[in-house]
């Protein structure tokens, strides 16, 4: 006669190691790999902080993605300590793991003892479907997608650079997108400003951008700032955001944004375009240089023509705006090697990208100072701001 399930479980528990929740709790920070083998809906109600989730039903196929080193110490848990015992037997006897323990009493006992629990944020079935290609990436996953949904990104301009950046950030699920633009859609914009369309000529760009974003992804909240950014309003707007995307068409505002972002320690993903050429860099205050470290003074007007006067190939802001969006997403997810302390020059005609180093200037007028030393009275009246305004067009 075959043994009963309960008898088999007793036999398994005799063969595997078990560990008390108290011991697991004490060792959470010591590199032990804790794996929750419960089902998705159980995981969603809460789990041990720092635990990985590999449902028992997918154990064999997914375990190596989480625990590639079979000699690493692994602690498994479920709700009560039964499924994790079965899973531990599988890891040891079928898959060759060398150091596997099952947590006695499971998550139920963990909670009963009042130990800390992480409750994952709820993601709807529609969101899981919408972001499924993100969820499959180790660099994003549910936690990363949640970071994107929680992120607040301010776009300075819904123009050439802002259009593609806004579209892809919205598609990626960046939860709050602020847009500063006081302009209306003009027919001459549509060669490159792809967030607008022919029916919206004459409509405020913030309204046009909002309509496109809402149609693309209802998860995104659009904050419209239909104004021209200046020293009088910048401190009302910037503090509400995590990252600023700068695609501004004039130097005074670029310097103003730099100074305020350093004061607030908000990273700025900055791009500029002209003709067939683009520049891109990330200015993360106090980790890398700021815009003034790179360009302490603006060029005279004749050396700083705007796109309107000189023309720009329509695809270029697409390329540069998407590189900006990519850097924004990397900053939000804290993955990869962001373009901090480096400036990328893209030459579309030559199809080349050149990179140069950008150093922090120890004598920088702004970022050599502690931001807390800058008094409220100085905000918006940054050193030599008036001179920049007078010097640039």
Partner 1 sequence: MATIRIPPVLRPSVGGEREINADGDNVGEILRAVAVDHPGTESQLFGADGELNRYVNVYLNDEDVRVLDGLDTTVSTADTLVILPAMAGGAR
Q: Which is nearer to partner 1, 74 or 166 (CB)?
A: 166
- Tell me the Ramachandran region of residue 292: left when phi exceeds 0, alpha when psi lies from -120 to 50, beta otherwise: alpha
CB of 227 to partner 1, least distance (A): 13
Helix, strand, coil % in the chain, rounded to nearest 5: 40, 20, 40
Specify the 3-state DSSP secondary structure of 23: helix
CB of 194 to partner 1, least distance (A): 14
Closest C-alpha among 209, 79, 98 to residue 157: 209
What is the distance in angstroms between the CA of the first residue and the CA of the last residue of the chain? 92
Q: Phi then psi for 208, rounded to 5 degrees?
A: -65, -45
Q: Phi then psi for 187, rounded to 5 degrees?
A: -55, -35
Measure the CA–CA gap between 55 and 39, rounded to whole angstroms: 5
Q: Which is nearer to partner 1, 118 or 355 (CB)?
A: 355
CB of 39 to partner 1, least distance (A): 49
Closest C-alpha among 145, 327, 366, 142 to residue 247: 327
CB of 213 to partner 1, least distance (A): 17
Please give the DSSP secondary-structure letter assigned to residue 188.
G
**What is the binding site for partner 1 (CB under 8 A)?**
156-162, 181, 183, 189, 246-251, 254, 271-277, 279, 294-300, 303-308, 310, 312, 317, 343, 345, 347, 349-350, 354-359, 392
Q: Which is nearer to partner 1, 92 or 156 (CB)?
A: 156
Q: Which is nearer to partner 1, 101 or 181 (CB)?
A: 181
Q: Which is nearer to partner 1, 81 or 298 (CB)?
A: 298
CB of 251 to partner 1, least distance (A): 5
| Angle at which helices 162-171 and 315-333 cross, to 10° | 40
Measure the CA–CA gap between 157 and 289, rounded to whole angstroms: 23
Q: Which is nearer to partner 1, 66 or 350 (CB)?
A: 350
CB of 182 to partner 1, least distance (A): 10
The contacts of residue 389 (CB under 8 Å, 6+ apart) are 252
CB of 173 to partner 1, least distance (A): 24
Q: Which is nearer to partner 1, 106 or 317 (CB)?
A: 317
């Amino acid at each position: 006669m075959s043994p009963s399930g309960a008898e088999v479980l007793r036999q398994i528990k005799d063969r595997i190691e078990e560990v008390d929740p108290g011991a697991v709790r004490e060792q959470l920070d010591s590199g032990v790999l804790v794996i929750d083998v419960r089902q998705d809906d159980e995981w969603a109600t809460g789990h041990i902080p720092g635990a990985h989730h590999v449902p028992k039903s997918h154990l064999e196929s997914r375990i190596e993605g989480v625990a590639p080193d079979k000699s690493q110490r692994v602690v498994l848990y479920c709700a009560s300590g039964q499924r994790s015992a079965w899973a531990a037997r599988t890891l040891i006897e079928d898959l060759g793991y060398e150091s596997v323990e099952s947590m006695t009493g499971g998550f139920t006992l963990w909670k009963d003892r009042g130990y800390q629990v992480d409750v994952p944020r709820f993601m709807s079935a529609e969101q899981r479907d919408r972001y499924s290609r993100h969820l499959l990436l180790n660099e994003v996953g549910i936690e990363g997608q949640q970071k994107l949904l929680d992120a607040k990104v301010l776009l300075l301009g819904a123009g050439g650079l802002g259009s593609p950046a806004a579209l892809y950030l919205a598609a990626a699920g960046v939860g709050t997108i602020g847009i500063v633009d006081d302009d209306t859609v003009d027919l001459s914009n549509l060669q490159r400003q792809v967030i607008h369309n022919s029916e919206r000529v004459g409509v405020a760009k913030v309204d046009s951008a909002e309509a496109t974003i809402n149609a693309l992804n209802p998860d995104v909240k659009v904050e419209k700032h239909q104004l021209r950014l200046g020293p009088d309003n910048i401190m009302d707007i910037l503090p509400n955001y995590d990252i600023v995307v700068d695609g501004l068409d004039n130097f005074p505002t670029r310097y103003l944004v730099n100074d305020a972002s350093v004061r607030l320690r908000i990273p700025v993903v900055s791009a500029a375009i002209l003709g067939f050429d683009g520049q891109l860099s990330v200015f993360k205050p106090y980790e890398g240089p700021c815009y003034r470290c790179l360009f302490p003074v603006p060029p005279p007007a004749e050396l700083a023509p705007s796109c309107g006067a000189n023309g720009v190939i329509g695809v270029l802001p697409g390329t540069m705006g998407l590189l900006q969006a990519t850097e924004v997403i990397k900053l939000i997810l804290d993955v990869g090697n962001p373009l901090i302390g480096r400036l990328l020059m893209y030459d579309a005609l030559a199809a080349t990208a050149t990179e140069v180093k950008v150093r922090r200037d120890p004598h920088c007028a702004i970022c050599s100072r502690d931001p807390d030393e800058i008094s409220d009275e100085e905000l918006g009246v940054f050193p030599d701001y008036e001179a920049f305004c007078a010097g640039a067009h």
